[in-house]
Amino acid sequence: MLSEAHPVTIEELPETLAAFAAVQQLPVSDGGLRDRTDRRGRLRYDKVWVRARRPAPAVVETACMAEQDLRWLATAATLRRGRRAEALADASSSSGLFRLLYELDLSQARTRLGRLAGITPRPDAQPVLDRWLAGLTAQGEELMLQLIDAVPGEAGRWAAEEAPRLIAAAADSTSGRARLTQDLCALARNLPADGVPLSVLADAAVHSTHGLDPGTSLGRLGARMAAVIAGLDPPGGAAAAYREVGEPAVLTLGILSSAQAPLIAAPPRGGTLWVIEGISVLSAAAARQVAANVICRGGTPSVAVTRTIRAAVEAGWTIAVSSDFEPRGLHGAIALLRQVQAAGRPWRLAAADYLAGPAEGEPFRPDQVPDTPWDPALADAMRQRCERVSEEARLADLIADMQRQVINDAS
C-alpha cells in the first residue's frame, strides 16, 4: 500500500508550497508495516505531491483562473494528464486558488521539481469543488427556465435542449452566460418583429443599436432563436438570416467588376449620395422605401465602397457624410471628406446633434477625439463629454433628410 503523508524537501520549492511523498509500505515479520527505503536508509517514494500549506478555501472564486479550466479539473475522476494539464500547471501554478485547490503530481522529483505527471483536487478541497459544481448546475437550470418562460410555447423545446449548449459555447463564464440568457429573454419578448430594422429591434431589446449585429454572439443566437419562433429552418448564419428578411447586401469588388453599365450615372439636379457609417441606418431606409441613394461605409470604407464614392464624385454627385459620434467613426468621416474634397458635406455632424443624443456607455479619452474643422465646437463637446453617441440616435432626422433630399450640416 502507499502512504502519502511523508513530507519531503525539494530544492527551489516556494515557501508557500509543501511537498509530500507517497511511500510504499512493506510488511515486516511482526505483522506490521514499514516504509520502503534504499540501501542508505533513505525513503524510496513513488509519487511527490506539491500543494499549498494553507487550508482549502471555503468557496471557489474564478477571478484568477478560467471557469472552463476549473470545471475541467474539478470533474476529473482520475489524475488530469497530458498537454492541457501541463499547460494549465505552467500557467496557473502561481495562482493562489490553483495551489489551494489542487495537488501537482511530480512523480519524477527527487531533489528538484520534476516533470508533471498529473493534477488532482486536494482531498480537503473536494467538498468545496463539489458545492461549486452543484451551484453551476443549478444556475444553468435556472437560466434555462428563464428562457423557456420568455419564448413562445412552440420554441420551449429549443430553449430547453439546444439553447443551453449554444449559450455555453458562446460564453465561458457564469456572468457571461447569465448576461447572454437575459439578453435572449429580452429579445424573445420583442419577437416577432416583422418590418422592424435590426438596429431598432436591438435598441428596444438590449438598449444597444449594435447589440444584434451578425458578428456578435447575441446576434448569432438571436437569429437562430428568431427562426425557431417563426417556425423557419435554422439560418446558416446571422448574416444570411438578415439578408432573407430584407437587410442590405454587401457591395464587393466582384459586383463592381461585373457591372456592364458605367459604375455611377450622372446625378439628377442636386443629386446626393448619402454615406452612413452603420448598416442599421441603411436597413431603416430600405424598410421605409426611402427614394435615396445610400451607401454604408462601415467605419473605414472598403476598396469597393471607396471606388464607388470616387466614381460618384467624378460623375458630379454631392457626398453627404454621416458618422457615429466616437473617435474611430469621426476619423473615418474626416478621411472621406478629405478624399472627396469640395463634393463632400458633413451631415448631421454638429455639436448640437451630438449633445442632443443619448450616450451608449462607451467612453473614450479626450485625446482620442480629432479636430472637426467644419464645426470646432463638436470636438470640444466630445472632449468634454467623452461619451459615444450612435448614428442611430438621430435616425429619424437622417431618414427625414434623405426623404426631403436636404443635407442638414453645420454651416
Query: All 3 cell numbers of residue 40?
Result: 542508505
Q: How far apart are CA 274 and CA 220, in angstroms?
A: 29
pLDDT at 356: 92
Domain 253-404 CATH class label: alpha beta
Q: How far apart are CA 228 and CA 122, in angstroms?
A: 45
Cβ(101)–Cβ(128) below 8 Å: yes
pTM over cut 0.75: no
Q: What is the mean pLDDT of residues 200-216?
A: 81
Asked whether residue 7 carries a pLDDT value surpassing 70, the answer given is: no
With a CB cutoff of 8 Å and minimum separation 6, the contacts of 76 are 119, 120, 121
Asked whether residue 246 carries a pLDDT value surpassing 60, the answer given is: no
The one-letter amino acid at 160: A
> For the segment 87-139, what is each residue's pLDDT rounded down to a tens digit?
766 666 555 556 566 666 655 554 444 455 567 777 777 777 777 778 878 88
Asked whether residue 199 carries a pLDDT value surpassing 50, the answer given is: yes
Query: All 3 cell numbers of residue 41?
Result: 536508509
Of residues 85 and 101, which shows the higher confidence score? 85
pLDDT at 383: 94
> For the segment 179-193, what is each residue's pLDDT rounded down to a tens digit?
999 999 999 998 888
Percent of the chain with pLDDT over 90: 20
Which residues are paired to 33 by β-bridges?
A: 27
Provide the sign of the torsion angle of the four alpha carbons 131, 134, 136, 142, taken in this order. negative
> For the segment 146-169, what is each residue's pLDDT rounded down to a tens digit?
999 999 887 888 888 888 888 888
pLDDT at 113: 47
Within 10 angstroms of residue 339's Cβ, the number of other Cβ atoms is 15
Residue 327 — very low, low, confident or very high, per pLDDT cuts 50/70/90? very high
Domain boundaries, the chain: 2-121, 130-244, 253-404
CA-wise closest residue to 272 among 285, 259, 260, 261: 285
Cβ(116)–Cβ(85) below 8 Å: yes
Q: What is the mean pLDDT of residues 320-347?
A: 91
pLDDT at 112: 46
Question: Scanning the structure block, which residue is given the C-alpha cell 501541463?
Answer: 86
Provide the sign of the torsion angle of the four alpha carbons 75, 80, 84, 88, taken in this order. positive
Q: What is the mean pLDDT of the chain?
A: 77
Asked whether residue 214 carries a pLDDT value surpassing 60, the answer given is: yes
Asked whether residue 73 carries a pLDDT value surpassing 90, the answer given is: no
Q: How far apart are CA 79 and CA 76, in angstroms?
A: 7
Q: What is the mean pLDDT of residues 50-78?
A: 67
Of residues 162 and 84, which shows the higher confidence score? 162
Q: What is the mean pLDDT of residues 264-285?
A: 82
